[in-house]
């Protein structure tokens, strides 16, 4: 295929065959509609608003700007010698629309809406149907190329997003492997020490190795369950087992399980609680949410500090809060700290360490019961994590 018959974006991985446009008929078409420029723009905007309503991605000033720019570029074909510059302008509009997250389907539809507005104007001004057909055909070819240019712009946006997701997937895989490698290594060392004691002395001198294996085994089990349940919840395969529970009983059980590490770091745990009703929840699921949040609070708290836990009733909700005196979370990271694909970034940056997607699991588990989870700064230092659960679920 000859180069002059190909519509090319220099940065493109592909080419689009360029259909021959009769410049004479196209310019006559554009000259005919030029006096109606403002009328066309107004009708186009009204048609767009009528078709898309509240679902429209372009609003008010932004919409008016895009439509005005589009019509100016469209009519500017009259003034230019090389139509390729027109196609480059259309790619720029496509990039603006893709950055705005305007769906490509919406773009294609509002191009057709413009055609609907232009057709009656041409019928009104030309009685020679043969000539009119040639002019409309030339304009259709221009629209075809414009849509091709818009598609190029969207293609690069999607390709860029896919590349980013692939990179994040790799980082996430490395993070999970790293998180699992450390406890597995420690379990192997501890079990080797036990084996050595039995081989040499036929007895075990220190029970601490059993405690290490038990603790790290539980960590791995929790990490694997987090990963499995995130996948199940995402694919709507998770079915919670609902029973009546008092959330303060679950909390006391978890604090008791964390006693060895609490005592090791000499952390004081303070609990403030209201008189709370029982609620229908999946006990194991919510227990793991609280476990993850307490585990993180202890992990990030310095020695000889304190962790404050609150359980309050607010209208028709139970609010759980846990605060620590750790390094805290930067303002820009607060919204993304619960996102699955943000965990790898935060791990690399040192914002989180070895969570095994615990915060992502917490968010999904809480939202499964129509609750919410969020984080704020602790006034003194550190962070406060909250989650809410509706009393009537």
| Residue pair 6/17 in contact by the 8 Å Cβ criterion | yes
In this structure, are strands 16-17 and 6-7 parallel, antiparallel, or unpaired?
Answer: antiparallel
- Do residues 345 and 171 touch, judged by C-beta distance below 8 A? yes
Residue 317 β-bridge partners: 314, 390
Task: Give the burial string for 74-87 (b: 16+ CB within 10 Å, else e).
Answer: beebeeeeeeeebb
Model confidence pLDDT, tens digit, residues 73-97: 888 887 777 777 787 888 888 888 8
Distance CA 393, CA 390 (A): 6
Neighbours of 164 (CB within 10 A): 11
SS3 237: coil
Comparing 49 with 209, the larger pLDDT belongs to 49
* Rounded Cα–Cα distance for residues 7 and 16 (Å): 5
**Cβ–Cβ under 8 Å, residues 393 and 369:** yes
For residues 159 and 166, the answer to whether their CB atoms sit within 8 Å is no
Tell me how far apart the alpha carbons of residues 60 and 63 are, in angstroms, rounded to a whole number: 5
**Which token pair is 278?**
């029982």
- Residues 378 and 319: their CA atoms lie apart, in Å, by 16
Mean pLDDT for the chain?
81
Query: Which tokens in the block code for residue 274?
Result: 């209201």
Q: Residue 277 contacts by C-beta under 8 Å, 6 or more apart in sequence?
A: 313, 391
Q: Average of pLDDT values for 173-179?
A: 65
- Tens of pLDDT along 94-127? 888 888 888 888 888 888 888 888 888 888 887 7
Fold (CATH) for 3-164:
Globin-like (1.10.490)
Token pair belonging to 93:
């509009």
The Cα–Cα gap between 336 and 346 comes to 9
pLDDT digits (tens, 9 = 90+) for 188-236: 888 888 888 888 887 777 777 787 788 778 778 877 877 777 778 877 8
- 242-390 folds as Heat Shock Protein 90 (3.30.565)
The HSE-up count of residue 338 (CA atoms within 13 Å, CB side) is 19
**Reported confidence tier of residue 6, pLDDT bands at 50, 70, 90:** very low
Helical H segments across the chain, by residue range: 23-33, 37-52, 60-75, 84-99, 104-125, 129-201, 208-234, 247-257, 259-264, 283-300, 340-349, 358-368
pLDDT confidence bin for 144, thresholds 50/70/90: confident
Which secondary structure element, helix H or strand E, spans residue 244, and what is its range?
Answer: strand 242-245
What DSSP designation does 302 have?
P
The CA distance from 158 to 284, in Å, is 39
67-71, 207-211, 244-248, range with the lowest pLDDT: 207-211
């Amino acid at each position: 295929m000859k180069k002059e018959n190909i519509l090319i974006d220099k940065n493109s991985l592909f080419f689009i065959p360029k259909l021959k446009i009769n410049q004479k008929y196209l310019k006559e078409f554009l000259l005919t509609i030029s006096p109606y420029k403002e009328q066309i723009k107004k009708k186009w905007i009204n048609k767009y608003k009528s078709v898309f309503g509240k679902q429209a991605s372009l609003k008010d000033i932004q919409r008016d700007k895009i439509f005005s720019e589009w019509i100016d570029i469209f009519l500017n074909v009259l003034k230019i010698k090389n139509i390729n510059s027109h196609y480059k302008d259309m790619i720029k509009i496509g990039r603006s629309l893709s950055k705005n997250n305007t769906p490509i389907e919406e773009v294609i539809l509002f191009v057709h809406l413009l055609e609907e507005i232009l057709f009656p104007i041409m019928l009104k001004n030309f009685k020679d149907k043969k000539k009119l057909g040639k002019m409309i055909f030339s304009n259709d070819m221009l629209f075809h190329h414009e849509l091709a240019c818009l598609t190029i712009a969207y293609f690069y946006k999607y390709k860029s997003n896919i590349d980013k997701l692939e990179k994040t997937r790799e980082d996430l895989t490395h993070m999970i492997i790293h998180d699992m490698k450390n406890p597995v290594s420690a379990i192997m060392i501890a079990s080797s020490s036990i084996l050595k004691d039995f081989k040499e002395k036929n007895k075990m001198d220190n029970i601490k190795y059993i405690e290490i294996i038990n603790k790290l085994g539980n960590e791995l089990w929790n990490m694997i369950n987090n990963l499995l349940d995130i996948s199940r919840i995402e694919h709507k395969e998770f079915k919670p087992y609902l029973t009546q529970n008092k959330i303060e009983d679950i909390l006391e059980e978890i604090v008791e399980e964390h006693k060895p590490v609490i005592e090791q770091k000499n952390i004081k745990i303070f609990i403030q609680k209201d008189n709370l009703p029982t609620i229908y929840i999946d006990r194991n699921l919510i227990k793991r949410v609280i476990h993850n949040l307490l585990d993180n609070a202890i992990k990030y708290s310095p020695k000889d500090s304190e962790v404050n836990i609150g359980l309050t009733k607010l209208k028709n909700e139970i609010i759980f809060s846990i605060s620590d005196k750790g390094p805290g979370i930067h303002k820009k990271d607060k919204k993304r700290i619960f996102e699955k694909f943000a965990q790898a970034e935060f791990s690399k940056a040192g914002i989180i360490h070895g969570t095994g997607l615990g915060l992502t699991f917490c968010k999904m588990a809480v939202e499964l019961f129509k609750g919410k989870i969020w984080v704020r700064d602790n006034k003194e230092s550190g962070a406060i994590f909250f989650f809410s659960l509706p009393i009537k679920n």
